[in-house]
Amino acid sequence: MPVSDFELLGAWRQVLDLCGLQRGQSVALLTSSSTNEQTLRCAILAVQERGAIANRLDLQPSNGSVSLSRDPLAFVGTTPLTENRAAVEMLKASDLVLDLMTLLFSAEQHEILKAGGRILLAVEPPDILVRMTPTLQDREKVLAASAVLRAARTMTVSSEAGTDATFALGDYPILEEYGFVDKPGRWDHWPSGFLATWANEGTAEGRIVLAPGDILLPQKSYVTAAITCHLEKGYVKAIEGGFEADHLRDYMESFNDPEVFAVSHIGWGLQERAHWSVMGFYDREASIGMDPRACAGNFLWSTGPNNEAGGKRETACHIDIPMRNCTVMLDGKAVVQNGKLIGDKA
């Protein structure tokens, strides 16, 4: 349901407050043809209201001729910033970048962050932004879970559907998404509320069984029949099942890159205001699916690149797979039990 500018402006005020935006600072609003006009309009008002300087940088879309989908995460790595030095330098000179077009997995994003810049991605529809406006409590919850994940050396995941997989941990950083950027060099995504890391190279082993109701992104589809993914030495070596398994395999093979089958980030959702069912109420081009990605108690795993974690894999195909009813254990201790957060009263 649409929200008013009043509601969205209030959400932007809260986010910019959490980001610590100060009077006189420079904010770059990065936009393209798909940017939501209401989101942009209210963001500019909120920035100016705080006495900061709002600069809009509008770039032409990219990847349209090579992507098989209009989803911004269907073909990653190259963006309108690729080889666009003037734009990159402007963003590096800004105190805060509001990414309203999607820069994920690009070398230019890493360059901006390495220079001390802050980037906040916000591309979901305005009503989703308002419903999941971040709070300090979101940060506390994510950081508390992060401390547990950081100390772990093994993650195991199981389910009644047949999932039984293990991942060695410790070589890669932790991805802490709580919805705002409160320190130099930080990237985050509004809305969010989940935690992830990357398995040590070559250690993902076992079997992941997608059950009916699990979700494929960027396909934005609920699985209707079991899909079995066999993991060996860090890669998905086989995908078995019916039509949906064939469809997934065909899509991945279309990139002609064996690295698309590598296991990427692994983690779980922590956001109680995210809902599994929401994706089904939106047109596939209206949302990128942050509700299922962040939904409390999910197991979220992915395939493809790991360059955002400092790895060398830069493949263009990235698939996120949020799963229900899984048990996630760190060094033998459960953090998610049958799809419920440990300690969750729900």
| Half-sphere exposure in the Cβ direction for 116 (13 Å, CA) | 3
Decide if 346 is inside a domain.
no
| Residue 27: CATH number of its domain | 3.40.50.2300
pLDDT for position 72: 66
Q: Domain boundary residue among 78, 101, 131?
A: 131
Residue 81: what pLDDT? Answer: 87
Domain residues for 59? 5-131
Given this model, what pLDDT does residue 82 score? 86
Any idea which residue has 């047109």 for tokens? 283
Mean pLDDT of successive 10-residue segments in the chain (346 residues)?
94 98 98 94 98 95 63 69 91 97 84 95 97 98 97 98 98 97 97 96 97 96 97 98 97 95 97 96 88 97 89 89 98 98 67
Phi/psi of residue 154, nearest 5 degrees: -145, 135
pLDDT at 314: 86
| Cis peptide bond prior to 126, omega within 30° of 0 | no
- pLDDT at res. 346: 41
Task: Please tell me the predicted confidence (pLDDT) of residue 183.
Answer: 96
Residue 345: what pLDDT?
Answer: 45
Instruction: Look at the chain and report how many structural domains it folds into.
Output: 2
Same-domain pairing of 66 and 107: yes
Based on the domain organization, do 38 and 124 belong to the same domain? yes
Sign for the CA dihedral angle at 62, 68, 74, 76 comes to negative
Determine which helix (DSSP H) or strand (DSSP E) holds 17, and give its type and residue range. helix 5-19
**Are residues 165 and 71 part of one domain?**
no
